[in-house]
Chains A and B, each alone.
Chain A
Amino acid sequence: MGLGQLASRALLRSTRLAASKPHRLLDRRAVVSTPELHNSEAAAVEAPPEPDLPKRTPVAGARVHFPNPDDAIEVFVDGYPVKIPKGMTVLQACEVAGVDIPRFCYHDRLSIAGNCRMCLVEVEKSPKPVASCAMPALPGMKIKTDTPLAKKAREGVMEFLLMNHPLDCPICDQGGECDLQDQSMAFGSDRGRFTEMKRSVVDKNLGPLVKTVMTRCIQCTRCVRFSTEIAGVQDLGMLGRGSGEEIGTYVEKLMTSELSGNVIDICPVGALTSKPFAFKARNWELKGTESIDVTDAVGSNIRIDSRGPEVMRILPRLNEDINEEWISDKTRFFYDGLKRQRLNDPMIRGADGRFKAVSWRDALAVVAEVIHQVRPQEIVGVSGKLSDAESMMALKDFLNKMGSNNIWCEGNGPSPNADLRSGYIMNTSISGLEKADVFLLVGTQPRVEAAMVNARIRKTVRATNAKVGYVGPSANFNYDHEHLGIGPETLTELAEGRHPFYSALSNAKNPAIIIGAGIFGRKDKDAIFSVIETIAKKINAVRPDWNGLNVLLLNAAQAAALDLGLVPESEKSIESAKFIYLMGADDQNVDKLPDDAFVVYQGHHGDRGVYRANVILPASAFTEKEGTYANTEGCAQTTVPAVPTVGDARDDWKIIRALSEVAGVPLPYDTLSGIRSRISTVAPNLLHVDEREAAAFSSAFLRPEVKDKPDKAPFETAVDNFYMTDSITRASKIMAQCSALLSKK
């Protein structure tokens, strides 16, 4: 809530009211845009004379959804009638009516605590001001938000809150984006009456990510509720009582949640701030760029805050369908990896085994010369975890022009189910998981593979007591689950209805099966998928109105790569390759590569892929380029350049385009829109940005029958270390600290 906004609102309101007092009760206005109320009957009831009151817009576009139109009640906020569903609180009613109530402890994604008392409003016939966040709105309630009583109550609360608050805004990292600062400017008094000593509280050690200055804490308990309800690690609590009360863990304990960074965002004051960002920049110096995250396959929406050429921090952006308003710690804190181990210049490995920086012209000439010397079937291309769709398209087109179709994206395995989209995306969609009532997780540990998907499952389990069955190696879950088994034989038992968990699955209305992408690497992948599809058929998980058969991918590039058809021709192409083009592929196993093979590494970090490289072509990272990514649910999103690229690096697709020119097989596009129109002929869904396109068919019933049985070998963990999964996170110092301190061994 901006300060200017608050001030102007306060001013506006007083003038509005002064102008409109005589008509207050006669006026009605529609604030609801839901279809349920827009039938003719409701319209006839509403049929308002054009209101004389100046129109107010709901706060932050707050919308009301009426699950049952009969339950609508009407309350009056500052004289404005507003229709809301039963069960809403007074604060929510005010929001719908366009009045932003100041608050500290209330957060719409957390349970209601009602302990900051900042949201006091006056309600007619109520003897005292009421805490609007905890008070349910009742029919006909007359709420007054800007009377002298409400104002006095707010001032009083603010004085109490500031009593023990250190007022060290000049040295506080929250300064400039602090709720307490903003609201004390808008609602507070200019002086306090407290002359005693302020209390001080010992700082807590919550690990390498969250810095604490507990003296600044105003005991709103948002962080306690967040860690208990959303992160699912009950570490934080409210200790002591009265003025000695403090937030803490009691015993020395680091916050081991993969979502711990979010407490920084929800803390309304500077008590919990970002440790890596401490004293680095002020928020008004930063340029925000709305982009997406590529460290996992979720595609969390983020805002990259940069100052000059440097990424200073990463914050979440609201997207109800993907990450709500949270992001994982990896997404939030890996950014320092963007500054380390970067490849600046094109390099060629000399005869002495050392790299020598050369010009782009020389580097491309060498690559073009070598690629013409090998036979087409000996050319192999591997795109990396972080590759965008445009460059994968360019790489595929280029290698196809060279006569090779041996190109794949790492993580997809030797024979991915690329035929139908439903075979590799999350068909239920991430937000759709909330409707599921039983989960079956096969070989996936969502907590480390896709923390935001895990948060969604946890939300569902908490809200509806959904059952979770898990097949795979022993893993860490933050919700109740049944560990059904470790290998495919458990699946066979389930498919045959012999397993006790089968009854839970078959009785479920909306069962959701989530298959980990780690299975893609197994030899018996098709047999496992076939068994799972048998289960899905038996429990009726795939219906026209519900598709509960999901694959949870691991990397940002995977879905787009499969959309574009990056599928290897033969499983043994690595063994016979003479020329391999690694486009940011660092986890591709190149041990079996013949010794005389020529390796080109194109990427932004000097990571594993460089060790074997003969030529290095520096590329730009996702923060420096525009690129399309499809997330695990098949939603295409684009990154936006936030900072300039380093050194002489270029965008991936541009390098390949230039290489194709030098190699004499020029690609027919030389702009981003050119590539995109090429993509539209292959995978048009990748161009529908920010829209999730569901798969048209379900692969469950179209797959050819698999005769062989799955192996006995148990499933393996796909992600060993949550904090270090790709070249950027491996280069990050903060992630290294996290994996040293927080990873459970």
Chain B
Amino acid sequence: MLARASQRLLEIRQAFRQLPQASRSFSTALNYHIDSPDNNPDLPWEFTDANKEKVKEIISHYPSNYKQSAVIPLLDLAQQQHGGWLPVSAMDHVAKIIEVAPIRVYEVATFYSMFNRTKVGKYHLLVCGTTPCMIRGSREIEDALLKHLGVKRNEVTKDGLFSVGEMECMGCCVNAPMITVADYSNGSEGYTYNYYEDVTPKRVVEIVEALRRGRNHRVAHKIHNASTQDQKEFFAELFIITSGDNVIATKFDLENLALQILGAPRSPQIIAYRERLHTGMQLLLPEIWAS
């Protein structure tokens, strides 16, 4: 009787198990390296001149006989510079800078799942998979993203813009579910890490589309996190204006404007701002405004 019950229990467990793999892996790559044309130890890799200054600055934080302490910030910098992922040659280069054996750097890079050892999209979307977010539907969010982008997990879309991964708790379970967007589109200078809270399967798709068209994080972010309906409408409009590629020059002004608006949540003020914006835009870019 007992044996049958335990057998049954085992069957139930087996049935509920989602994947045949024993452990979830948050890393984008395997624990060993496979040579490929864009990732092999023979490729040259160097920090850019601007980043070389940063490397010096980072290393200056540590005693000269403990250079190896700089391994994580240096790997992070290398990852930002290399479009969000670390090829083997970049890790070798870091090892050379901090004067340790390459394996000591590989150990660190494989330990931390936020170091990507395979190619990721310019926008790397990380869905929180921890319990509170999972209960609030993070699986659906991931499915929605994967379906919308037509990729598998840790796979990059054909245009190289997006990839979806999983991440551990982001520490904001009160607003679960949430996603993170790591933005590698502007190199290490423009690198940002943005959190989107209270997302829904519909909203994440909108965020993706916003990023795709605007490629501008701050705007997409503001739209999503706007608190009032008026604000939302305003940002949607603002977003449409800024989404064209040829308005880059004015984007920054618009964003500044948007930030001011955030400080003014009441509707009448926003309406005033909208009017100012309309007139301003008409003056600035009449042809876009007309279209």
Contact B32 A202 (CB under 8 A): yes
B17 at the interface (CB under 8 A from A): yes
- Determine, out of A94-102, A229-237, A551-559, the stretch whose residues face the partner at the interface: A229-237
Contact B23 A251 (CB under 8 A): no
Measured CB to CB, the closest approach of chain A to B39, in angstroms, equals 11
A242 at the interface (CB under 8 A from B): yes
B287 at the interface (CB under 8 A from A): no
A256 at the interface (CB under 8 A from B): no
Closest residue on chain A to residue B107 by CB atoms: A237
Q: How far is the CA of A199 from the CA of B31 in the complex (A)?
A: 14
CB contacts (< 8 Å) of B31 on chain A: these are 239-240, 244-246, 248, 250
Contact B23 A199 (CB under 8 A): yes
Known A246-B31, A251-B41; contact A196-B111, beta-carbon cutoff 8 A: no
Interface of chain A, main secondary structure: loop
Closest residue on chain A to residue B19 by CB atoms: A197
Chain A, range 211-252, C-beta contacts under 8 Å to B: 234-246, 248-252
CB contacts (< 8 Å) of B33 on chain A: these are 250-252
Known A239-B31, A250-B33, A250-B110; contact A199-B22, beta-carbon cutoff 8 A: yes
Contact A240 B22 (CB under 8 A): no
Known A239-B31, A239-B110; contact A195-B13, beta-carbon cutoff 8 A: yes
Measured CB to CB, the closest approach of chain B to A217, in angstroms, equals 12
Q: Determine which of B22, B23, B25, B106 lies in contact with A237 in the assembled complex, contact meaning CB atoms within 8 Å.
A: B106
Measured CB to CB, the closest approach of chain B to A167, in angstroms, equals 15
B56 at the interface (CB under 8 A from A): no
B88 at the interface (CB under 8 A from A): yes
Q: How far is the CA of A246 from the CA of B27 in the complex (A)?
A: 14
Closest residue on chain B to residue A202 by CB atoms: B32
A198 at the interface (CB under 8 A from B): yes
Contact A234 B104 (CB under 8 A): yes
The 8 A CB mask of B110-133 against A (1 = contact, 0 = none) is 111100000000000000000000
Contact A241 B111 (CB under 8 A): yes
CB contacts (< 8 Å) of A242 on chain B: these are 23
Q: How far is the CA of A195 from the CA of B104 in the complex (A)?
A: 35
Q: How far is the CA of A243 from the CA of B22 in the complex (A)?
A: 8
CB contacts (< 8 Å) of A250 on chain B: these are 31-33, 88, 102-103, 106, 110
CB contacts (< 8 Å) of B35 on chain A: these are 252
Interface centre among A196, A198, A239, A242 (most CB of B within 10 A): A239
Closest residue on chain B to residue A246 by CB atoms: B31
Measured CB to CB, the closest approach of chain B to A230, in angstroms, equals 15
CB contacts (< 8 Å) of B41 on chain A: these are 251
The 8 A CB mask of B25-38 against A (1 = contact, 0 = none) is 10100111101000
Contact A249 B103 (CB under 8 A): yes
CB contacts (< 8 Å) of B27 on chain A: these are 240, 244
Measured CB to CB, the closest approach of chain B to A24, in angstroms, equals 44
CB contacts (< 8 Å) of A240 on chain B: these are 27, 31, 110-111
CB contacts (< 8 Å) of A198 on chain B: these are 22
Contact A235 B103 (CB under 8 A): yes
Q: How far is the CA of A204 from the CA of B32 in the complex (A)?
A: 9
Contact A196 B32 (CB under 8 A): no
Contact B22 A195 (CB under 8 A): no
Closest residue on chain B to residue A238 by CB atoms: B107
Q: How far is the CA of A164 from the CA of B21 in the complex (A)?
A: 13
Chain B, range 1-60, C-beta contacts under 8 Å to A: 10, 13, 17, 20-23, 25, 27, 30-33, 35, 41
Query: Can you list 5 A-B pairs with a CB-CB distance of less than 8 A?
Result: A195-B13, A239-B31, A239-B110, A243-B23, A248-B32
Q: State the 3 A-B residue pairs at the shortest beta-carbon distance, nearest first.
A: A234-B101, A250-B106, A237-B103
Report which B residues bind A (CB closer than 8 A).
10, 13, 17, 20-23, 25, 27, 30-33, 35, 41, 88, 100-104, 106-107, 110-113
Report which A residues bind B (CB closer than 8 A).
164, 195-199, 202, 204, 234-246, 248-252
